[in-house]
Amino acid sequence: MSSIFGFSSAFLASAVEMVEALTIVLAAGVARGWRSALAGAAAAALALAVVVAALGPAITSIPLNALRLVVGGLLLTFGLQWLRKAILRASGHKSLHDEDAIFARELEHARADGAPVDHGIDAYGFVLAFKGVFLEGLEVAFIVLTFGSAQQSVPLAALGAAAAFVLVVAVGVALRAPLTRVPENAIKFAVGIMLTTFGTFWSTEGAGADWPGSDLALLALLAFVGGISAVFVVALRRGGALTRNVAAGG
């Protein structure tokens, strides 16, 4: 069961990060030329492969309990960041992630930096695509490595990320436009819940505690994290206690 969760989490987290990377590569390609943008994206993919190849074996050689403690803590910290932003977006306290707006902004910045070079590699387009793919990809690599190693199944988590890569690139190539129809905000909410759930589960086990019901506790934990997130969204939408305290400076 935790394998299905692990695969789904790696797939969803990778998909949203790849949608964001695709938007930046598209902006770089349209404004500065496809050669530079694709070269930047390919160089970033290579750099990510080096990072994963270097860190992967090191992480998997750590004893399982220590690994779950560290990985659980990191995933929980990461998950709480995703969840906070998702709750703020869902309750209207933070603007929704809009790929169209991001694409327009990146395009404007890229065009403002002078005319692209006609021959060879345009440095601005290369760096823009490289940064977009590397930074978004680093988050994917982090999630795949931590999920995979804590579940002792890096290939399964990598398969989830690879499936997301194939899907996003195929749709991106077909459309040649930002993937605005992807329910990105909803997916980010789901990923935040999953990262927080796994982070809580593994850090507790790593700290030496046992879950009642063993792996079945994951389902209860998933419902619990989803439930409190929904409560926070409703409370913030209604301007509940949380907002009133803030307004009063409390």
DSSP characters for 16-84? Answer: HHHHHHHHHHHHHHHHH-HHHHHHHHHHHHHHHHHHHHHHHHHHHTS-HHHHHHHHHHHHHHHHHHHHH
Residue 229, interface with another protein (CB under 8 A)? Answer: yes
Residue 133, interface with another protein (CB under 8 A)? Answer: no
From the number of C-beta atoms within 10 Å of its C-beta (0-12, 13-18, 19+), residue 64 rates as middle
| φ, ψ dihedrals at 240, nearest 5° | -75, -160
Residue 23, interface with another protein (CB under 8 A)? Answer: no
Residue 226, interface with another protein (CB under 8 A)? Answer: no
Residue 206, interface with another protein (CB under 8 A)? Answer: yes
Report d(CA 238, CA 70) in Å as an integer: 37
Restricting to residues 30-49, which ones interact with another protein according to CB under 8 A?
none
Smallest distance, Å, CB 189 to another protein? 13
The angle at the Cα of 29, spanning 48 to 177, to the nearest 5 degrees, equals: 95
Output 12 or 87, the one with its CB closest to another protein.
Answer: 87
Residue 13, interface with another protein (CB under 8 A)? Answer: no
Smallest distance, Å, CB 59 to another protein? 15
Task: For residue 183, give the 3-state DSSP assignment.
Answer: coil
- Of 87, 129, 161, 187, the residue at the interface with another protein (CB under 8 A) is 87
Smallest distance, Å, CB 51 to another protein? 12
Instruction: Answer yes or no: are the C-beta atoms of 91 and 231 closer than 8 Å.
Output: no
Output 46 or 246, the one with its CB closest to another protein.
Answer: 246
Residue 200, interface with another protein (CB under 8 A)? Answer: yes
Sheet strands (E) in 104-250: none
| Number of residues written out for the chain | 250
Which residues contact another protein by CB under 8 A? Answer: 69, 72-74, 76-78, 80-81, 83-84, 87-88, 93, 138-139, 142, 196, 199-200, 203-204, 206-212, 217, 221, 224-225, 228-229, 232, 236, 242-243, 245-246
